[in-house]
């Protein structure tokens, strides 16, 4: 079983129909970590206020994480905007710590600021309430995407991510992502760290921005991606696809491909791309 020193995952959005809870459960079963960071929006309270959706798979994910904590994995829960109610409960609960942010020190001594990323909403958007409007729009987009993929499956075609296409192609969205990344990097410099790691915008990335390395974990709604640290301190961006085989494509070609062939992970480092087969 692959074992990592640290793993970071975010934006699971349990409580929504779009959450890839079964895929995440497989990932948790097939990998071990000394430390596991849940980088915000683990549970989507915003969505649950509009209507309750909670299948057994969502319970299973929580039970699996609690089981890992009991067996010695240090679980650090960074609160996001969709689960902001947990900010009232910051503290240590057995093997789980609930925090607003964290500074992680890698095996090779680098300091990484870990935040969800919603802290920069007012900086990037000027009006924080736009995040709530965007959430409703994103939910509608995911429902449209489900309909598109329903017909693609009937035609024997592979699933396709409408929102990932829009984020990659629409100029204003690309500009927003760039502004967000730059703002996060500037924010991190005040903490005197070497890197910053966040989620929030559902766009996995590894970029060098000035003196700060920017990592984004992506999400478990569309891309099923996260960041892992090896025992020598190397950080890599990982895409998990439990029902796929290794096909050798670079990460950029598979981030929005939810049906990429199974049993493999695609990894990206700050120095470039490589593909690695799971042991």
CATH code assigned at 185: 3.60.21.10
What is the Cα–Cα distance from 148 to 85, expressed in whole angstroms? 34
Q: What is the pLDDT of residues 200-246, one digit of tens each?
A: 999 999 999 999 999 999 999 988 999 999 999 999 999 997 543 22
What are the backbone dihedrals phi and psi of residue 216, each rounded to the nearest 5 degrees, phi first?
-125, 130
Q: Which residue has the tokens 């709530």?
A: 132
What is the Cα–Cα distance from 65 to 25, expressed in whole angstroms? 9
Tokens of 163: 């929102």
pTM for the predicted model, two decimal places = 0.75
**Residue 33: burial class (beta carbons within 10 Å; 0-12, 13-18, 19+):** buried
Average pLDDT value for residue range 90-94? 94
- Cβ count near 101 (within 10 Å): 17
Residue 192's domain comprises 3-277
What is the Cα–Cα distance from 188 to 169, expressed in whole angstroms? 28
- Nearest Cα to 96, choosing from 114, 57, 70, 64? 70
Contact criterion met (CB below 8 Å) for 179 and 186: no
Average pLDDT value for residue range 40-55? 92
**Total count of domains within the chain:** 1
């Amino acid at each position: 079983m692959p074992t990592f020193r640290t793993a970071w995952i975010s934006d699971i959005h349990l409580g929504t129909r779009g959450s890839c809870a079964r895929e995440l459960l497989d990932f948790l079963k097939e990998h071990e970590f000394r430390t596991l960071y849940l980088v915000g929006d683990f549970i989507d309270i915003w969505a649950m206020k509009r209507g309750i959706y909670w299948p057994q798979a969502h319970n299973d994910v929580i039970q699996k994480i609690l089981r890992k904590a009991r067996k010695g994995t240090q679980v650090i829960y960074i609160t996001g905007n969709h689960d902001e109610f947990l900010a009232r409960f910051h503290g240590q609960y057995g093997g789980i710590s609930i925090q607003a942010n964290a500074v992680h020190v890698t095996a090779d001594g680098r300091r990484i600021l870990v935040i969800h990323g919603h802290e920069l909403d007012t900086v990037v958007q000027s009006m924080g309430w736009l995040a709530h409007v965007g959430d409703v729009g994103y939910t509608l987009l995911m429902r449209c995407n489900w309909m598109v993929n329903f017909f693609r499956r009937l035609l024997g075609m592979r699933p396709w991510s409408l929102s990932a296409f829009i984020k990659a192609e629409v100029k204003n969205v690309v500009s927003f992502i760039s502004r967000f990344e730059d703002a996060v990097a500037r924010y991190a410099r005040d903490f005197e760290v070497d890197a910053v790691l966040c989620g929030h915008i559902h766009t996995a990335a590894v970029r060098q921005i000035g003196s700060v390395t920017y990592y984004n974990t992506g999400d478990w709604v569309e891309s099923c991606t996260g960041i892992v640290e090896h025992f020598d301190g190397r950080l890599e961006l990982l895409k998990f696809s439990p029902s796929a085989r290794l096909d050798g494509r670079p990460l950029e070609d598979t981030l929005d491909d939810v049906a990429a062939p199974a049993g493999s992970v695609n990894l990206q480092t700050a120095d470039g791309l490589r593909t690695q087969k799971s042991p």
